[in-house]
Amino acid sequence: MRRVISLIPLGRAQRTPNMALLTVRHLTIYRYSEPVRLGQHRMMFRPRESHDLKLLRTTLTITPNPTRLRWLHDVFDNSIAIAEFDGAAAELRFESVVALQHFETVLPEYPLEEYAKNYPFRYSDEDMPNLGRALAHHYPSDTVRLWARQFLDPSGTTGTMSLLRSMTLDIRKQFLYVRRSKKGVQSPEETLRNRSGSCRDFAVLMMEAMRSLGVAARFVSGYIFLPGDGTTITGGGSTHAWMQAYLPGAGWIDFDPTNSIVGNHNLIRVGVAWSPDHVLPLWGTFTGTRNSFLGMDVTVSVTEKGLD
């Protein structure tokens, strides 16, 4: 038995020069040596709709069939699905398929408020109460602060976007990307020491670096499209991670230090939060023997195609 949830809107999408029609397939399979009782599982697969991303069709298939499936928005307005099960199984499958329109900002020039165009700047009294958690350090470190300060102009004034672009580029050029299946993230100090890490490690390093300079930042989890045109892009085949900085006048702007991407180029947002712990794509429980869990397989693909 399986549960299939579909949403198919009316109308047909029309392609425009900066718009791509993408299909995201995300398959996760849990395997056990014997049937185990399945507990509650929470999913964060559904991309965040916005002015630059429109969902056209979604399908969520769960095997075995959950006894209850409900949806909610968390405190960050991320879309969460919660599945509850009654019974035992030796395999648990989640498959999410999403067709969407992705509108790309080409060579973005962000209209920052005049007072925020150069660093340092101060957030307005109106913004500050809402940005407290985005400015709070999760990994306080003098090492990270000193590393971040190298991107400041010695004259005392640095273009805000130049600062962020330089740091995004430097991580891509100076650090080695390593795919890690292990849960969690490295501390920013460990990433600096090893000069290597995964996409989520680079995102956390840049978040903490920007926070050390007084710039609000948050973590983003989602997917990345690999166009197949010879462009070197890292992070496909699984979920991807990057960060956003809040800049007055422009709002939350995407920065992907793994690929030196500024803006939403090829990036599909799913979840945002102050730390990676709050945007796990899938998490849940089971009841069984200690050694019954055999492993988990995750497959993600993002393809470009027209709609039927």
Tell me what pLDDT residue 107 has.
58
Return averaged pLDDT per consecutive 10 residues of the chain, 308 residues in all. Answer: 43 59 97 97 97 96 97 97 96 98 80 96 96 94 96 92 97 93 87 96 98 98 83 76 97 96 95 95 94 94 75
pLDDT at residue 11 in the model: 38
The tens digit of pLDDT for each residue in 200-211 reads 999 999 999 999
pTM confidence score? 0.90
The pLDDT score that the predictor gives to residue 106 is: 62
Output the pLDDT for position 294: 96
Interior/surface letters 50-66, b for 16+ CB within 10 angstroms, e for the rest = eebbbbbebebbbbbeb
* Mean pLDDT, the chain, whole residue set: 91
pLDDT at 229: 59
What is the largest distance, in Å, between two alpha-carbon atoms of the chain? 66
Write the CA distances from 290 to 35, 36, 44, 47, integer angstroms.
13, 11, 27, 34
